[in-house]
Homo-oligomer: A and B are copies of this chain.
Amino acid sequence: MALPIITIGRSFGSGGRIIGEKVATLLNIPLYDKELVKITAEKSGFHTSVVEQMQQNKPASLLYSLSGSAVEYPLQDQVFYAQSAVIRELAEKGPCVIVGRCADSILEEEHRILKVFIHAPISQRAARARDEYKITSRKPLDYIKYVKKCDKKRKAYYDYFTHRPWGKSEHYHLCIDSSIGLDIVADIIARAAREFPEKV
């Protein structure tokens, strides 16, 4: 059976990208994560720094949106729609792993997708931010607070563009705590993909 497209949402520091890489290697299919920034920039004309920044910001409030021009979308929305077009185009090419970017919501109407969400206990995520992502700051950094702040932004971004709650189990086929081990998590996802039914 053909492989589905695999979308991986993830809480900050849960190792979602690393798991995505392992899954892509196991299944021998492409992975798109930060690559999407470059492709979106190339296709849309936005600078890569703008595309990147717009994904890290909390979306503007409704009030702010209403106060803007009636004929022009806020910049963040424009970048989102440009990236959504890129994601749809890549999905047309065949099975792949897409990390983040609300890809589950963008693709689910027209594609066969295995929707995954990765999370982990906050202490492990804070340790990963410090030791693996090497995030530092001039001032002493409270990594737990930092991770929570990043989660808050991801949640706001996802909720705003998909109109459904981020990380809620019923919206995913698999929600997995990565503290059981990154390799076993990747193995579980690859196995689910290989046996993913034609219709769900």
- Seen from chain A, the residues whose Cβ lies within 8 Å of a Cβ on chain B are 114, 117, 119, 167-170, 172-177, 179-181, 184, 187-188, 191-192, 195-197, 200
Contact = CB atoms under 8 A, between A and B. Distances in A.
Nearest to A170: B119
A29 to B, nearest CB: 18
B192 A191 contact: no
Given A188-B188, A188-B192, A169 B180 contact: no
Contact of A176 (B119, B174, B197): B174
A179 B181 CA distance: 25
B175 A169 contact: yes
A6 to B, nearest CB: 12
B200 A179 contact: yes
Contact of A191 (B179, B184, B195): B184
B195 A119 contact: no
A180 B175 contact: no
For the complex of A and B, the 6 pairs showing the least CB-CB separation, nearest first, are A169-B175, A175-B175, A169-B169, A173-B177, A184-B195, A179-B200
Nearest to A114: B180
30 contacts: A117-B169, A119-B169, A119-B170, A167-B169, A167-B170, A168-B169, A169-B169, A169-B172, A170-B177, A172-B175, A172-B177, A173-B177, A173-B179, A173-B180, A174-B174, A174-B175, A174-B176, A174-B177, A175-B175, A177-B200, A179-B197, A179-B200, A180-B192, A180-B195, A180-B196, A180-B200, A181-B195, A184-B195, A187-B191, A191-B191
